[in-house]
Amino acid sequence: MRAEVAAREDYPLPGLWQQFNYDAKGDLLYGDKRVLDWVERYDAPLSVIDAAWVRRRVTELRALLDTARRHTRYPAPTDIYYAAKARMHAGVVLPAYQAGALGETSSAQDLMHLELLFKAGLLPKAFTVISNGFKLPPERLDDRKPRKGVMIDDGAPPLDRYIEDYASAILRAHAVGLNVVPILDSLDEVDWFSRRVAAPMQCGVRLAFGLTADRLGLDSVNAGFGLTVAQARRALKRLAGHPLLHPRMIHAMVGAAEASPSLPEIVDGVRLSASLFFELKRDCPGLDTLNVGGGLPLLGDAYDHVGAFQAMMKAIQEEAERAGATTLPRLAFEPGSLIAAEANFNIMPVLAVKAQGLVGGAPILFGIVDGSFIESSIDGLLLGHDFPVIPANLANRRAYPMWLRGVTCDSMDVWPPSTVNRDWLRLPVPRPNEKLYVVVAQIGAYQESLTGKGGVNHCAVKEPAEIVIDGDRHVLIPSPTTRDQSRLMGYTRKMLNLLAPQSKAAKPEPAVAFQAGSKDMW
Ligand SMILES: Cc1ncc(COP(=O)(O)O)c(C=O)c1O
């Protein structure tokens, strides 16, 4: 069988073949561009991020939600907040906002990017950002400041207060004029924000929630995030009558995309969240938004998104009726993977193909790629996520079962790994004077290391500094700063200039700091 036919058969994903196609020579096309043209120009491995695809998915999601609202006559608006933790890269974040998504952050790192875009005039006028995640009162971090007596004077930067202190970063971003809505995750956070807020601010309360259809189930859902229903009630009571901090949103995330909840499971979860919303609203009439979080399957997957949205909206309407509520909540979604995953693929060269033994008369083939799978495919190894791997050339040749091996000498460094439900890939075998290239697709969400971006970890998790001691002497290798990370994620003058002209949001006169031709912004 031809390798192209095998690829289409092995990955029957409508979205993948919306993006990719093969020409008569068996070369892979991305839209109307030949993938190998990029390799010929820039060499491989190479990671391609498509800003236009990000805009397209946001626009399509907006249309699907509007269709579901029309069909169910759901009267309240729906909001899309891009969960930037899925991918904080400027090439994904800014196009998402340009296409109408609002902001969602989970750390000081992504909030800092937003503050930067806001100051540059690149965000739409009525832009709002909701801040999820642990916003520990900064006093909790004080013991992590090196004490004078133990300070090591070797030119390393001092503790990066900004990245550590998400709570203060929220207040700071709010003070410069960004409409930030913290989603309070614990009673500690409720108290801290109540004491510190200095200007009117909306907030939300996150419920400890998960894949469950009944209240008893909530007690055993080990969300780790958010408040129990009893704590949420206490939180709203404490906030009632607060002169500045106004609770508007209940956050109840049913499940993440990788958990693949079924449609009935999602609808049951949303129904439960709606019944809790109406109950809490009795004590706190200002609540007006139900946020069901992320976890939506990709738009390119064979999945009935409109059907799912309609079922959710109907469930909320039924719960409203049961509760005797006259107004329905705005419905907020925080898609991460849906917006980011398809917008990025990697091109990897296969350096050699080795044949080792036979199975049933067929050679066992290993393609050695210029990269590593253990080091790079977090969701593949942890969650069994099956990233599509398709040939970028030679696709009109015959396909053979093949495993890809990373260049490390580690037995685990193989694709597909044992965690993925796929026995092998089917790829063409290059002749001695040829080189095969493969594309690893849909890697835009949560796979920063797959794209080989040094120093940027999954969800921008902080990298530990290293200290090497030898007796009384030592050398410190500091961890990357937030600014180092931002630069790696494309928050540079050059990148923002590339994206800015597309921006309907951009002010007619961009801030002087962003003029083309001068050095990178940091
Ligand atoms: C609070 C919150 N919102 C949104 C998301 C995005 O989820 P997904 O990428 O499945 O859409 C996550 C993912 O972990 C999350 O924790």
Residues with CB under 6 A from ligand 1: 83, 86, 132, 253, 256-257, 293-296, 334-338, 445
To test the ligand 1 pocket, which listed residue (85, 107, 458) has its Cβ within 8 A of the most ligand atoms? 85
Nearest to 346 by CA among 373, 327, 367: 373
Residues in the chain: 522
| 187 & 128 share domain | yes
pLDDT the model gives residue 125: 87
| 223 & 354 share domain | no
| 183 & 227 share domain | yes
CATH code for the domain of 357: 2.40.37.10
| 229 & 294 share domain | yes
Domain boundary, last residue among 416, 440, 464: 440
Has residue 457 been placed in a domain?
no
Q: Considering the chain, what is the average pLDDT of its residues?
A: 86
pLDDT the model gives residue 259: 64
| 80 & 228 share domain | yes
Q: How far is CA 86 from the centre of its chain?
A: 1
| 34 & 75 share domain | no
Could you read off the pLDDT of 123-132 as tens digits, one per residue? 998 899 999 9
For Cα atoms 129, 57, 261, give the angle at the middle one, nearest 5 degrees: 80
| 143 & 233 share domain | yes
pLDDT the model gives residue 151: 47
| 218 & 278 share domain | yes
Has residue 257 been placed in a domain?
yes
Instruction: State pTM to two decimals.
Output: 0.88
**Which tokens belong to 88?**
């904080």
pLDDT the model gives residue 370: 87
Atom number, ligand 1, closest to the C-alpha of residue 296: 11
- Least confident window among 288-302, 332-346, 350-364, 493-507: 493-507
Has residue 473 been placed in a domain?
no
pLDDT the model gives residue 442: 94
| 258 & 371 share domain | no
Has residue 466 been placed in a domain?
no
pLDDT the model gives residue 263: 84
Count Cβ atoms below 10 Å from residue 362 Cβ, excluding itself. Answer: 11
What span, in angstroms and rounded, lies between the C-alpha atoms of 213 and 158?
Answer: 48
SS3 helix, strand, coil % of the chain, rounded to 5?
Answer: 40, 20, 40
Could you read off the pLDDT of 2-58 as tens digits, one per residue? 999 999 999 999 999 999 999 999 999 999 999 999 999 888 888 889 999 999 999
Give the pLDDT mean for 495-500: 88
User: Which residue range(s) make up the domain with 282?
Assistant: 51-148+156-341
| 75 & 24 share domain | no
pLDDT the model gives residue 465: 67
| 390 & 305 share domain | no
Has residue 470 been placed in a domain?
no
Nearest to 180 by CA among 77, 108, 229: 108
CATH code for the domain of 68: 3.20.20.10
Judge whether residue 402 has pLDDT over 70.
yes
pLDDT the model gives residue 4: 98
Higher-confidence residue of 243 and 155: namely: 243
Domain boundary, last residue among 318, 341, 364: 341
| 279 & 365 share domain | no
Determine what percent of the chain is predicted with pLDDT higher than 70.
84
Domain boundary, last residue among 395, 415, 440: 440
The number of domains in the chain is 2
Task: Give distance in angstroms: CA of 333 to centre of ligand 1.
Answer: 9
Has residue 269 been placed in a domain?
yes
Could you read off the pLDDT of 70-116 as tens digits, one per residue? 999 999 999 999 999 999 999 999 999 999 999 999 998 899 999 99
